[in-house]
Structure 1
Amino acid sequence: MNVPTVVRSLVRSTPTIAPVPHRALLSVTGSQAGEFLNGVVASSVPPSRDSHFYTAFLHAQGRVLHDAFIHSYTSPEGKRGYLIEYDSRPSEAPPLLSTLKRYVLRSKVRLRDVSDEYDVWSAWGSETEKGWETAREWVNASSGAAEPVWKHEQESEWPWGNGPNALRDRRAVGMGHRLVVRKGDRPSQCSTHDTAAEEDYLLHRILHGVPEGNTDIVPMHSFPMDSNLDIMGALDFRKGCYVGQELTVRTYHTGIIRKRIFPVQIQPSIDFLSDIDIKAVNKAAPTEDSPRTRPRGTGKLLSSTQGVGLALLRLEHVAAVEEDRASLEFDLMSSDGGSSSKYAVRPWRPDWWPSFSVNEQ
């Protein structure tokens, strides 16, 4: 993982398991559950009902409502279906359950909120993950979008896994497994892994460059590719119609992606900031070979902990930082409102990422 030297000490080197906070779960059962989901999610539903996957629900205008894991599921009554796992915190997006019910119509589908019945955990760092985690291959579009290429000739090789209650988290290399257990139970991995806190899971995904939930992928405002949902495997640009498809596919083929979410180092170190504007500052007078960075727009710090975070940044500003033509920073007022402190923001690129362009556009 291409982590700056000063933050390498934050990476946990032992098998670790941690609860994932703020997660809601909806069950989708019925003979047409797969067909129903395929019409409303941004990725393709796998042919086998045993297969898990990662996806997104989009607004009709192409903005993100929720990023979501879809777990293969068998209800206590023995009914086959899926569990939709997504951020439970209130947002500008309408409630997902009521949104999905609008699309059921005459489909043989039953939707139910089962958030009170299950907990979600993340486990990572085990040697067993190396058996299925492979080097990434990519399909790159002229817009700057990038799709992972999954090779799964056999059902057992499905990238997100087929095992009961254990989804392979392929959003980034090294993310581990996503686990769903009955409410109040502890996963079996607790006997072989160090048990960590919720904040350790936040740090884990920041270090791997993985945005998640309402804080990082702001409902009704975020665009899918700006939020890295393409490189994390949540989008299928070749499937049939789904809600939000038109703008997403048009951007893929004819648009230009100008922003991405990057992991960043914050100096001096600070904890638990979010929704902070980041500005680009030119370091020197422009030359013909090194033009001045345009100040238009700002970045946004989304999540942070222990001096690292995730930030939505303009690609032209990232390019200027990488070429040492500009710096990124934000100001924070003191608690008494009398003075402000300046913080430097330095983005880095995880080594699992595709080589999408960060040149000025």
Structure 2
Amino acid sequence: MLAAPLSDRGIVHVSGDDARTFLHGLVTANVATMAPATPRFAALLTPQGKIVADFLVIEVPAEDGGGFLLDLPAALVDPLLAKLKLYKLRAKIAIEDRSAALAVLALWGGDPPAAAAIDGLVVRDPRLDALGFRAIVQAAAVAEAAEKLGARLVEPAAYEAHRIALGVPRGGVDFAYGDAFPHETDMDQLAGVDFKKGCYVGQEVVSRMQHRGTARTRVVPVAVDGFAPPPGAPVTAGEITVGTMGSAVEGRGLALLRLDRVGDALAAGTPLLAGGIALSPQKPAWARFAWPGETQAS
């Protein structure tokens, strides 16, 4: 098994008597039915349905103090803290930035790690089984935790390549926070939205997109002919812009694409280019949405 420390991630701890109901009423996932062994992928949205922050929600066992850890991009910790405190009102909760004390390890490529071996939490990544596991450990003991879990410590770039190969988007590079709907970032495909739960911020917009099937733009994998274009490079089909390049490694990457325009280009035999480099969109194995040329989702 491989383990990569994700130093670009932060941790927010939400605890207190009302922590569960507070989070459940705000985010896209069902927190009411969570347990320590069943983490969730979720987002806090604007009232217009755009993603403010996405994160993994991990319940802390009662014997370890209880509450919920939010594993999110470190750059979003302060903005999220401000939003959560704005919504707090009279809820009996405490909201704390634990980023200095706790670190995030991504684990993949082997048997399930023995969580009891470390002073920390280990859960399966709720987005996709193939992504592996997530460990929340003491920041001063990352290497020790990896060793006790039987994992070989590698650079974060190795995990990035693993994520990109699976076609799983990362906020801030594959899409812009504050400017993307959950469907556009594939949260509806990666267990990030519970369409059966009650209201949450932005719920009406997300539900409308789901029922009307109006998500024409999505982050999807692309095969790249050689070295990948930089993130943010426009993707074009002839004179028409059809999307934006996201994260990539040599030979493959992710791009935010208008799939209807991609379909038109493919039907016309028009190549897709980013920075003069040819791209070929690839439907990910986990996708249930309709792909260009398909009549319905499979």
Task: Answer yes or no: same fold by TM over 0.5.
Answer: yes
Q: 2:247 aligns with which of 303, 307, 310?
A: 303
Corresponding residue for 1:229?
187
Letter of the 1:84 counterpart = L
RMSD: 2.6
Structure 1 position 26, deviation (Å):
0.7
Tell me if 1:176 matches 2:138.
Answer: no
The residue number in structure 1 matching 2:47 is 60
Per-residue CA deviations over 1:247-286 (Å, capped at 9, x if unaligned) read 1111111241111111112222147x211111013xxxxx
CA distance in 2, matches of 1:178, 1:232: 16
Please, which of 273, 284, 289 is the counterpart of residue 350 of structure 1? 284
Please say if residues 175 and 256 of structure 2, whose CA atoms lie closer than 8 Å, have aligned partners that are also in contact: no
Give the CA deviation at 1:118: 0.7
1:201-245 C-alpha deviation (Å, 9 max, x unpaired): 111100001012322231110111011010011101221111111
Q: Determine whether 1:203 maps to 2:187.
A: no
Q: Which amino acid in the other structure matches residue 124 of structure 1?
A: W
| Cα distance per residue 1:304-354 (max 9 Å; x no partner) | 2233211001112443566572211022xxxxxxxxxx2111121222322
CA 1:321–1:48 in 2, change beyond 3 Å: closer, same or farther?
same
Alignment partner, residue 36 of structure 1: 22
Partner of 2:117: none
Measured in 1, the distance between the counterparts of 2:241 and 2:78 equals 28
Separation (CA, whole Å) in 2 of partners of 1:173 and 1:323: 34
Give the structure 2 partner of residue 339 of structure 1: none
Q: CA deviation at 1:194?
A: 2.9
Q: Between the two proteins, what is the percent identity of the paired residues?
A: 30
Aligned to 1:123: 107
What is the CA–CA distance in structure 1 between the aligned matches of 2:94 and 2:78, rounded to whole Å? 19
Aligned length: 287
Matched letter for residue 286 of structure 2: W
* Cα distance in 2, alignment partners of residues 22 and 210 from structure 1: 17
Larger helix proportion, structure 1 or 2? 2
Larger Rg: 1
Tell me, yes or no, if structure 1 residue 112 matches structure 2 residue 107: no
Kindly tell me: are residues 30 and 196 of structure 1, through their superposed partners in 2, closer, same or farther at Cα, counting changes over 3 Å?
same
2:260 counterpart residue number: 316
| Kept after mapping to 1: 8 A contact 2:50/2:180 | yes
Q: Any stretches of 5+ residues in structure 2 without a counterpart?
A: 114-119
Q: Aligned pair in 2 of structure 1 residues 47, 316: CA closer, same or farther (>3 Å)? A: closer
Distance, in Å, in 2 between the alignment partners of 1:348 and 1:27 is: 37
Q: Work out the CA distance in 2 between the residues paired with 1:195 and 1:173.
A: 20
For the pair 1:95 / 2:52, whether they are aligned, the reply is: no
Alignment of 1:208-219 (within 5 A): 208-219=166-177
User: Does the Cα contact within 8 Å between 1:315 and 1:359 map onto a contact in 2?
Assistant: no
Q: C-alpha deviations, 1:178-212, integer Å up to 9, x for none?
A: 11100121264435333211111111100001012
8 Å contact kept, 2:247–2:254: yes
Structure 1 residues 115-154: aligned runs within 5 Å: 115-128=99-112
**8 Å Cα contact 2:24-2:32 kept in structure 1:** no
Cα distance in 1 for residues equivalent to 2:51 and 2:160? 21
Q: Does 1:167 align with 2:123?
A: yes
Distance 1:299 1:307 in 2: 18
SS of the counterpart of 2:75? coil
Shift of 1:74: 5.2
1:224-303 correspondence runs (5 A)? 224-270=182-228, 273-281=230-238, 296-303=240-247
Q: Residues 328-343 of structure 1 correspond to what in structure 2 (within 5 A)? A: 328-331=272-275, 342-343=276-277
Q: Which residue of 2 aligns with 1:81?
A: 67
Does structure 2 conserve the Cα–Cα contact (< 8 Å) formed by 1:315 and 1:360?
no
For 1:24, which of 10, 18, 22 is the aligned residue?
Answer: 10
Q: Shift in Å at residue 70 of structure 1? A: 0.6
Asked whether the equivalents of residues 173 and 352 of structure 1 are also in contact (C-alpha less than 8 Å), the reply is: no
Equivalents in 2 of 1:356, 1:185: separation in Å? 45
Deviation at 1:64, TM superposition (A): 0.6
TM-score, normalised on structure 2?
0.87
